[in-house]
Amino acid sequence: MKNRYLVGLIAFGALAVAAYSQSQDAIVLKLTGGEKKKIALPDFRATGAAGALVEAFNKTVFEDIQQSGLFDMAAKSFYPLNPPQQEADLRAGQATCAGRCLSDWAGTPVSAGYLGFGYAAEQGGQFVAFGHLYNTAVADIAGAKVFRKLYNAPLSEEGARKAGHEYAADILAQFGAASLVGSKIYFVSDRTGRGNKEIWVMDFDGSNQSRVTSFNSITTMPAISPDGRRLAFTTYAKGQPQIMMYSTETSRFINFLNPQASMNATPSFTPDGQSVLFSSTISGFSQIYVANQSGGGMKRLSNSRSIEMEAKVNPKTGTEMIFVSGRGGLQQIYRMSLDGADVVRLTNGEGEASNPAWHPDGQHIAFAWTRGYSPGNWNVFLMDVASRETVQLTHGEGKNENPTWAPDGRHLVFSSNRSGRSQIYSMLANGTEVKQLTTQGGNWMPVWSK
């Protein structure tokens, strides 16, 4: 009888583990788009002055498509030796095409569902690329064509990368995915030295890093408005931590009225960009407040005798927020209405939880959690807010914190000290395609802007 009970208990446990695994898979599939398609991207060749630049173009296209998470990349070692460069190179199905028939790419060993090809040249002092995309499953060449497009850019390495980004974006658009080209990542860096921390900005792929603030102080906790026009952050430049506002359009500071308190910090914007949530010690404890863009019309949202910070409003509903609170002991993530009602703890009380960030769908969050690890050892997790199911994305590779979502809702940016010093990384929402974006100094607290 005992053996039968034990077998049943083991079977039940196995079913529970399987069900939990399936729920985790469902979360990841929903956020990353499900089953991947396979694509082949033979290198473009180039003539004239474009020949020295085409490598930058090819590298950009391959990396953008690979990091999108939408595709499996066909191994280049399996490519036919004579890929097409223009439409006239394609041949109808024959016994042997040496790479000029779509069937060469659809069949083994390449087994690609899509083929992107083309060539580059110098025309009128410009870098030009002719890009194509074909569906290899369609036998008729005309019917297989997805698009053909001409790309013009300055005759420079930067121009070649620009053309590569545009070609990759057009490929992604065919599958309903938005390109991250043009989006920015704001972050904190100490690379200027002397113990100072300043706000910096870079392109989505880590290129074009430049400094935003120059206070020669500690400036931290950046937040960007939904339209990308305003940047809020916390700075010690005037002594006690205060909130400052900056226009990304004019590169000038905007007045923000800070309440009289020993600390005003962790700003964030409401979905309409008209209000700012922040934490302040006006009452003695760090509590959450909301004010308009200038700091006026301030209203208290939380009311407890504990530290409460990092409030973020649901981007879809605009009526609820998540925040970090120590009201139950160790800091955890809570949700409540903007009127202060319906307070619910989202994390289960195990370990410490911090840095919550809403997914654009308003149904999932990313956050940092020490669950399963010693205090201070953080990893990035996802949560389906309705079911409270969680998925762990980083595993024992240093201290991983401050996850925030890319505009496409498929990528995350976060900070990690896995390489020794804290640096900024991006990854897909399933934890793959991890890419280090910074290398100089220490870097923290990234936020992704449109």
**Which domains are delineated in the chain?**
37-173 (3.40.50.10070), 184-449 (2.120.10.30)
Instruction: Specify the pLDDT at position 12.
Output: 38
Confidence of residue 5 (pLDDT cuts 50, 70, 90): very low
Confidence of residue 178 (pLDDT cuts 50, 70, 90): confident
Instruction: Label residues 230-249 b or e (16+ Cβ within 10 Å = b).
Output: bbbbbbebeeebbbbbbebe
Confidence of residue 23 (pLDDT cuts 50, 70, 90): low
Instruction: Specify the pLDDT at position 15.
Output: 41
Is the distance from CB of 357 to CB of 369 less than 8 angstroms? no
Query: From residue 107, how far is each of 49, 74, 317, 420 by CA, in Å?
Result: 36, 12, 48, 45
Q: Which of 25-29, 109-113, 406-410 has the lowest mean pLDDT?
A: 25-29
Neighbours of 177 (CB within 10 A): 18
Confidence of residue 31 (pLDDT cuts 50, 70, 90): confident
Q: Which residue has the tokens 């002397």?
A: 194
Residue 154's DSSP bridge partners are 126
Instruction: Specify the pLDDT at position 22.
Output: 55
DSSP secondary structure string for all residues of 181-242: TT-EEEEEE-TT-TT-BEEEEEETTS-S-EE----SSBEEEEEE-TTS-EEEEEE-TTSS-E
Stretch 255-264: mean pLDDT: 96
Q: What is the pLDDT of residues 360-398, one digit of tens each?
A: 999 999 999 998 776 778 999 999 999 999 999 999 889
pTM: 0.89
Question: Would the pLDDT of 1 be above 60?
Answer: no
Instruction: Specify the pLDDT at position 106.
Output: 95
